[in-house]
Amino acid sequence: MELTTDIYQRIVAAKLFIDEHYYESIDLDQIAAQAFLSRFHFHRLFSRIYKKTPHQYLTQKRMDAAKLFLAKEGISISDVCSMIGFESPGSFSSLFSKMSGHSPQYYRNIAWLKKKLAEEQPKQFVPHCFIEQYKVG
């Protein structure tokens, strides 16, 4: 299938659907329907445009959201799991560890530590080139 402007816009609309509904239980049929394409044509074209499958894109979107939620205080890992569309904390934890290299709890601890250090010593989090250019200090 040729990649016309119309087809491209429909694929982008489907991507935006993923962006807006990543936390829901959505599947390839629902996403492809946003582009008015069969699941097979959609999968092929999405992968061609974004260099990853729709499932890989959805998973990455969920993991990025998980990192933001894990960095906030007062949200349990189980809550983060359900907030981003996972049903099983175990599968979420395994996938998060595989994709980020750290368990959700370890990632949370590091994020909180960085936040605390930034509050206590903010100059350490300003790039040196910025300090030199603007003579901050």
Look at residue 135 and tell me if it is in a domain. Answer: yes
* pTM summary value: 0.82
Q: Give me the pLDDT at residue 80, please.
A: 96
**Residue-number span of the structural domain to which 15 is assigned:** 1-51
In order of 22, 73, 87, 116, 136, the CA distances from 19 in angstroms are 6, 24, 19, 30, 38
- Same domain membership, residue 45 and residue 66: no
- Same domain membership, residue 46 and residue 12: yes
Q: Give me the pLDDT at residue 121, please.
A: 79
**What average pLDDT does this structure show over 45-66?**
97
Look at residue 57 and tell me if it is in a domain. Answer: no
Instruction: Judge whether residue 23 has pLDDT over 90.
Output: yes
Q: Give me the pLDDT at residue 30, please.
A: 97
Instruction: Judge whether residue 24 has pLDDT over 90.
Output: yes
Number of domains in the chain: 2
